[in-house]
Structure 1
């Protein structure tokens, strides 16, 4: 495993260099694009009779459990790092709007995507059971705007818009994972739980995750406040994340939600009341660098995974249909409420367009698709997921600037935050 980790880091470093030196796209988008081009190039070499590099790449990727690497390793640290730099007072001011987008929006999107695909997939020669269509809806609905946040800042997007997108993404990951687990249990057991049973399960997973996050965050805060040693305090934050996520898994509560809440507590009360200036600088630098490195590795793996995605004629048509349905569901669940109630959301008139188009999908969706039981349903869902994720990152992520540029006040505040890290939400000043 150590050798595989070293190989992944070396590949990521080289591709990040190529992007920074020649391509010059935002890091997460650029390394994924370069990784995809590399994989496609190896596929081309195989077609010309040089198959060894392609076979080696497939062997390497098959030795990596992408779902385990992301869901059991990277996700806890990525979510904590993102929450660490969100201002809790600003988040609290938009709590109802973020709650609507993250909870209601994710649930509505899951239902819209699932039902629409169940009806429309036979049109392109593919039939999936309703439960598998809903599973696809649950795994594709959570947004992962890590790649687009740097673009939002550089384009001078309004602060309120940035907060809504980052706040939604922090919480809808947990909501989506809970919905996916509930639906996967129904698919594997063949039984449909009653409304009361389903609500109890959701309350246990989501409510338990939030409560555990508060407990972990408070304990970490008390430990940090009791000493003044930045080396130990950095280590405590890392232990909080890794140990807290494992505890959430053991208790069968939502680890993602627990990490978000713990990150908010440590990033606000912890930074303000429990850390010296020296500790704060080291903690921020450590998590910013870790966030950058993990994101780069994650998006490189996403780009390389194209060699393992099963493509065929009927599934390709289904993937294009899924792309259209996913965008429509994003508009119904997020864009439409923001368009109807722009004042309540605190957005400019055209802000709903950025909310809709800026909802990027990422590694979590692919990881959940790979976690499905083997079969033709999994192959179809994996292909649809991969196409939606690649489109959202490469196309939506690189075309959102013109939308932002037309927003009133889009140039305000863009430069003030230029020194923040690229990969995560920003603490407003």
Structure 2
């Protein structure tokens, strides 16, 4: 080092030490010159980082980034496996007669989930099913498929029975469950006391039924069309009743049981008709728009399925944004 100039890092370190020693023991002077030392150390770190980076980084011929496509890749594999399993269930006729197809698919999903969890193939936290994923992405195509293939004539011929089961039966379930739960709380069968409004909030949440598995079995075994349309229509229309009841009871809870007035009950009763008929009106409007658009798609028929799916999905989202019945829409 004596025969030539010292290296640059050595000069930076020596300069930093000289600045620190020349200020003496004064704390004020040390504070004033402290940024110079920090800048010098940062420059030293930057230079050393550049040297290490230039020495280790090389252009890769082939790279593998599974984490970049992990979520959609695994989801597509799940869908592919479910479709192949559904084909296999239909090819082997004896198995669906012993177990319903929905139960077999649920079992398959459990096995796939357990395998991914214990093998740590994918991060399970990325595939947690929440309410937004279900109601915004999974439920609309299921309901749209059912509504698209619904026998309209049989539905309107049995509209009285369907409304009886969808409206009166849902109200009966809500009142029965809520009153029974409140009674058990009062007589001590439930350790904590629950108010009547909270009991009705819970009962309105679970009173509606969704017989998806029953409808799937009915469709496979080709049951009577009237029985199928009654069960399907009831499951379709009780959504409006359940939405109104839940929002009504939740709103009553926020107001408080002691502050409720007659006008609140009248408003809640009127909300039922707004939710039901509002959701239906939105569906009719989007249906007319779709019919008008597809009237001029004779030369671009490749776009017709896109209009059909997008307009149906927009009808659902529009109704949900207005807190109306997206299923009816």
Q: TM-score, normalised by structure 1?
A: 0.50
Larger radius of gyration: 2
Q: Deviations over 1:154-196 (max 9, x none)?
A: 4442221111011111211232123222223333454646222
Structure 1 residue 31 corresponds to structure 2 residue 67:
no
CA contact 2:70–2:122 (8 Å) conserved in 1: no
Residue matched to 2:180: 116
Q: Indicate the SS of the match to 1:257.
A: coil
CA contact (8 A) 1:16 1:31 kept: no
Other-structure match for 1:256: 327
1:78-227 matches, within 5 Å, as: 78-120=142-184, 122-123=188-189, 125=191, 127-190=193-256, 192=260, 194-227=264-297
- Is 1:8 the counterpart of 2:75? The answer is yes
Q: For the aligned residues, what is the CA RMSD?
A: 3.3
Q: Unaligned regions of 5+ residues in structure 1, if any?
A: 44-50, 259-429
Kept in 1, the 8 Å contact 2:170–2:241? The answer is: yes
Alignment-derived partner of residue 67 in structure 1: 131
CA–CA distance in structure 2, aligned partners of residues 61 and 128 of structure 1? 35
CA distance in 2, matches of 1:54, 1:136: 38
Task: String of CA shifts for 1:256-293, please: whole Å, max 9, x gaps.
Answer: 221xxxxxxxxxxxxxxxxxxxxxxxxxxxxxxxxxxx
Task: Give the Cα separation in 1 of the matches to 2:225 and 2:175.
Answer: 30
Q: Give the number of equivalent residue pairs.
A: 248
- Equivalent residue number for residue 382 of structure 1: none
Q: 1:189 to 1:219 in 2, by over 3 A?
A: same
CA distance in 2, matches of 1:129, 1:37: 42
8 Å contact kept, 2:170–2:238: yes
Tell me how far apart the structure 2 counterparts of residues 131 and 5 of structure 1 sit (CA, whole Å).
43
Asked whether the equivalents of residues 201 and 250 of structure 2 are also in contact (C-alpha less than 8 Å), the reply is yes
SS at structure 1 position matched to 2:297? coil
Residue 235 of structure 1 and its aligned partner are, at CA, apart by 0.9
What CA deviation, in whole Å up to 9, does each residue of 1:189-222 have, x standing for no partner?
A: 5464622211232232222112222222222222
Q: RCO (CA 8 Å, sep 6+): is it higher in 1 or 2?
A: 1
**CA offsets per residue over residues 16-61 of structure 1, 9 Å max, x none?**
6567658754443222233345667899xxxxxxx7859943x234
